Structure 1
Amino acid sequence: MKLKGRLLTAFLIITTIPLMLVCLSLSLIIGYQSNEIKQTYDVKTDSITAFSNPVQLLSRLTRGVYNEIVLTAAKDSEKFADGNYINYLEKELKGKHSYLAVRKADDFIYIGDTDRFDKIKDSFPAFGEYTGNAEGGLYVDSNHPFLLKQQDFQYKDGTEGSVFIITELDTLIPQIKASAIQLLLSLISIIILTASVLIIWIYRSIIIPINTLHAATNAMKEGNLDYSIEGDPEDEVGQLCVDFEEMRIRLKELIDVRFRYEQEMKELISNISHDLRTPITAIKGYAEGIMDGVADTKEKQEKYIKTIYTKANDLSVLVDELSFYSKIDCNTMPYTFSCINLGDYFEDCLGEITLDLEVKNIEVEYHNDTDKETKVNVDAEQLKRVISNIVGNSVKYMGKKQGHIAIHILDGAAFNRSEEVVISIEDNGEGIPVKDLPFVFERFYRADASRNSTKGGTGLGLAIVKKIIEDHMGTIWAESEEDKGTTIYFTLRKCKEDVKNEQDTDSGR
């Protein structure tokens, strides 16, 4: 869930759940306290009346006693001077938060609760001034509000008298107070519960992923790039974790590549040091031979000088190869593409290399299965370097007295490459182990470092070949079997006019 959705959900939880729980709590509390009121005061009333108009409920509690007082005042008012009768009425009011007071003339001859009465004694209506009714009584608002029911009468001697039923309203009904407390506690509990649920939810959905991300950054800061994290891409924090994981993987790959590159550079330096040491040692030795007079004849001098020249030439080739690879690796090598006749080009190349190979007892075989007019779009000089490097690599690892190299030019249609031609260069040399075959085109790679160090080379030959072929929009691959030989395949693109002519020919058929 996205952060926007989480915030909306949190808002709904904050507003809806507390409201529902408060309503439920209020309903349960009112129902429970209403039942308590009915049992305590023995009245039948609905919950709304008990809590919305408690004064009316208190008035109902004393209605029976008040009615009896009214009848007594009409029939036998002298009973209000009888202590037994007054005690009887007081007993009837017990438990109804009310007490009795009797006034004769201006003096109160009976007071049911003196402590409370003293607080309100100045608030009683005079004889004949009572404005309340039998059903509701009179609400007297003062520092100590109370509900008053008054019945005036006359004693037999003509003295004015009044009987009062006084109901305290300071605390109203205890159940209402308890309900308020319970409702307050319920509200506090609901708020705490809702807040706890939200905190746990937010902690699990936001804080935990952030802590995980923080731990991952600390691990990365310490150099541990293997600390993997997962995130839900459906929300922003999870997407941040996903992006961080992708960054970690990418960074680890870059560091691995850099480490591999540094290792390759170390290996390259080692190889270069070895390859340079051999001709330099030879040059130095033969030069010292000339200076020390070891070459004391003209023939020896010529031989020494020729050897020095040959070794110097080997050094020049090595430096040129390193310089060339540096250019193509940085994509700064300029190419000059042109359409050339493939058959004519290979015949010229073979003419240059055949003599050198025959001297080394290597037979060369050539077949061209394409149309004689087939042209390819290539840089002629760089293609020559490709052929030279592949053939040179085959010669280097021939390992047999009678060598054989076969060059075949095939139409790409046989390989489902109708717009290309496929060239294969096959030898009968030592072959390449299966485990090393996928890496032969990597820079600085040598299948057997100890063995190859005796044969020289930087390990860049096939890497250069691959880069040149890829720059020609072609592909290159190798097949090999140990002790039987290796075949290098690469493709070249035909010129557009050749492709168009072939398509026209096919459609004409």
Structure 2
Amino acid sequence: MSLKQKIWASYIVMIIVPFFLAVLSARLILINYEQGHQLQIIEAVQDEKIREYTDFAEELESTLVNHPDYFKDKLYLERINNKITSFGMGMLIQDNDQFTYNSLPVKAEKLKPYLSKFLEQDISKRWVTAIAKEYIVRCRAISFSDGTTGRIYLFMSKIAPWDPPPGQFNEYVKWVFIIFIICILVTNSFLTYHMSKSLIDPLNSVKKAAMEIQRGNLDYPISYPAKNEIGELYRTFEEMRLKLKQSQALNTQYENSRKQLIFNISHDLKTPLTTIKGYAQGIIDGVANNPAKMEKYLRTILNYAVEMERLTNDLVLFSELDIKQLPFDFETIEINKYLEDAIEELNFSLSENSIDLSFVSHYESQDLIMADRQRLVRVIHNIIENAQKHLNKEHKEIQVILKEDNSGALIEIKDNGCGIPEDKLSFIFDRFFRVDSARNRTTGGSGIGLSIAKEIIEAHQGRIWVKSTEGLGTSIFFTLKKSKYFIVNLN
């Protein structure tokens, strides 16, 4: 149930329940009052009527005892009926099983349900009273002189039982009012408690969780099972906590990366700078005292300067990728021609190091690939440079294999080097990760080459992954989208 529905339900219950309970209580009081005061209500008549009725009752009782045969005399019955009528009563005389006199406006046969109440009661020497639905009936036996028996029934109109005596009406109203107030208080207390449990307690839990986050504790989860506004608040708050925790972890990772970056920069620049400084100082001191030696010193200085430039370019590119500020110029390319040109460019430098670089294509369609030429060649260079560091066989070989699938091109760059341990495969695209933890100029590097490759391929909406077997070599795969499957980001 939603919070809005709960509020409306509470409002309706606040109105209906007290009213229902008050009516029920009033009815119970009324029933109790009716039962306790029924006979008093029946006999609550004016004093004069009471005296007249008392005299009449004495006369009637004397006639029943001393002159019972009078009840067979129609003149007597008419005379006594006049008195009975003045009391708002009616009379019925029964002789054996026959009704011999009836002053009521209804037939005697219809009155039998009322008369059946006296069948099992002793009415020989006393009056017996019974309360029926419409009448109050009094009955007395008649013993006639000829030995037969009969009965006399007096029918009185029933006084409304819900009309309390004037002196007690105010007391009755007071109790109904008190019960109504009590019902409101009880209902209000119950609803207040229920709303407190369903609203205040959950909000206090959220407040406590917020205070924990304020103190920096992001490991304080909260949950609420109901699918209402409070549940949505809990879920939103929990999502915020998880995002804050994720952001905190990311900030920690960035901070560690920053520290690692500073450490790597200082380490990677220290050796070439020291070398350049040493060779430059040798030239100044005249150590390079002939043209051949001078050329060697200058070429060494140039090589290390080029390496420093490459490292600096990698770091700049990495920073631009990291803050999503690197622009991409996507265009359609013929992937076969593009890779042939890139391989030809790389072949010159690799052949100097006795590395055999070959290209095999299984891409037979004319579909164009969407790519940024400059960024994609950086991916290929970085992967091949990484492969060079792990070539340990006499015949060093790197192979570029192009394949095709429905949505794009699959490129595999495969070497026959030493391979990568299985427990390190999942980390090779991480920033600053090095398979060889010993940092030297042979196996070193910035540690961000494959991380840059991963960022560039993902910007091309592709995937990159690795497979390797120790002792046999390593293959790095990446995919590129065909132009018709490339989703242009307009942001």
TM surpasses 0.5: yes
Q: What is the CA deviation profile of residues 77-106 of structure 1, one whole-angstrom value per residue up to 9, with x for unaligned ones?
A: xxxxxxxxxxxxxxxxxxxxxxxxxxxxxx
Partner in structure 2 of residue 36 of structure 1: 36
What is the identity, as a one-letter code, of the residue corresponding to 2:426? Answer: P
Deviation at 1:453, TM superposition (A): 8.5
Deviation at 1:377, TM superposition (A): 3.5
Partner in structure 1 of residue 456 of structure 2: 468
Task: Find out whether 1:266 has 2:254 as its counterpart.
Answer: no
Partner in structure 2 of residue 304 of structure 1: 297
Deviation at 1:282, TM superposition (A): 1.1
Mark the CA change 1:180 to 1:423 in structure 2 (over 3 Å): closer, same or farther: same
Task: Give the unaligned 5+ runs of structure 2.
Answer: 59-85, 89-163, 486-491
Mark the CA change 1:337 to 1:44 in structure 2 (over 3 Å): closer, same or farther: closer
Report 1:483-498 matches (<5 A).
Answer: 483-494=471-482
Partner in structure 1 of residue 277 of structure 2: 284
What is the identity, as a one-letter code, of the residue corresponding to 1:387? Answer: I
Q: What is the CA deviation profile of residues 134-188 of structure 1, one whole-angstrom value per residue up to 9, with x for unaligned ones?
A: 99xxxxxxxxxxxxxxxxxxxxxxxxxxxxxxxxxxx978866764554344333
Deviation at 1:465, TM superposition (A): 1.6
SS of the equivalent of 1:321 reads helix
CA distance in 2 between partners of 1:11 and 1:372 (Å): 72
Q: Is the 8 A contact 1:295 1:301 kept in 2?
A: yes
CA distance in 1 between partners of 2:321 and 2:57 (Å): 125
Deviation at 1:452, TM superposition (A): 7.6
Q: Is the 8 A contact 2:411 2:478 kept in 1?
A: yes
What is the identity, as a one-letter code, of the residue corresponding to 2:268? Answer: D
Task: Find out whether 1:257 has 2:250 as its counterpart.
Answer: yes
RMSD, aligned CA:
3.3
Q: Is the 8 A contact 2:436 2:443 kept in 1?
A: no
Q: Is the 8 A contact 1:33 1:175 kept in 2?
A: no
What is the identity, as a one-letter code, of the residue corresponding to 1:187? Answer: F
Deviation at 1:214, TM superposition (A): 0.9
Partner in structure 1 of residue 446 of structure 2: 458
Deviation at 1:337, TM superposition (A): 3.9
CA distance in 1 between partners of 2:256 and 2:47 (Å): 101
CA distance in 1 between partners of 2:427 and 2:245 (Å): 22
Task: Find out whether 1:479 has 2:467 as its counterpart.
Answer: yes
Partner in structure 1 of residue 241 of structure 2: 248
1:193 to 183, 186, 189: 186
CA distance in 1 between partners of 2:271 and 2:297 (Å): 16
CA distance in 1 between partners of 2:441 and 2:286 (Å): 33
Mark the CA change 1:28 to 1:459 in structure 2 (over 3 Å): closer, same or farther: same
CA distance in 2 between partners of 1:71 and 1:379 (Å): 124
Mark the CA change 1:448 to 1:219 in structure 2 (over 3 Å): closer, same or farther: farther
Q: Is the 8 A contact 2:401 2:412 kept in 1?
A: yes
Task: Give the unaligned 5+ runs of structure 1.
Answer: 46-56, 73-132, 136-170, 413-417, 498-509
Deviation at 1:12, TM superposition (A): 1.4
Partner in structure 1 of residue 359 of structure 2: 366
Instruction: Pick which of 381-390 and 297-306 moved more.
Output: 297-306
Mark the CA change 1:20 to 1:375 in structure 2 (over 3 Å): closer, same or farther: closer
Mark the CA change 1:452 to 1:23 in structure 2 (over 3 Å): closer, same or farther: farther
Task: Find out whether 1:16 has 2:13 as its counterpart.
Answer: no
CA distance in 2 between partners of 1:218 and 1:301 (Å): 70
Q: What is the CA deviation profile of residues 288-319 of structure 1, one whole-angstrom value per residue up to 9, with x for unaligned ones?
A: 33333444444333322221121111111111
Instruction: Pick which of 451-460 and 254-263 moved more.
Output: 451-460
What is the TM-score when the length of structure 2 is the normalising length?
Answer: 0.69
Report 1:347-426 matches (<5 A).
Answer: 347-371=340-364, 375-412=368-405, 418-426=406-414
Mark the CA change 1:23 to 1:411 in structure 2 (over 3 Å): closer, same or farther: same
SS of the equivalent of 1:22 reads helix
CA distance in 2 between partners of 1:293 and 1:2 (Å): 89
Identity among equivalent positions (%) equals: 35
Task: Find out whether 1:218 has 2:215 as its counterpart.
Answer: no
SS of the equivalent of 2:410 reads strand
Deviation at 1:458, TM superposition (A): 2.2
Mark the CA change 1:435 to 1:193 in structure 2 (over 3 Å): closer, same or farther: farther
What is the identity, as a one-letter code, of the residue corresponding to 1:434? Answer: E
What is the identity, as a one-letter code, of the residue corresponding to 1:7? Answer: I
What is the TM-score when the length of structure 1 is the normalising length?
Answer: 0.67
SS of the equivalent of 2:40 reads coil
Partner in structure 2 of residue 438 of structure 1: 426
CA distance in 1 between partners of 2:57 and 2:400 (Å): 138
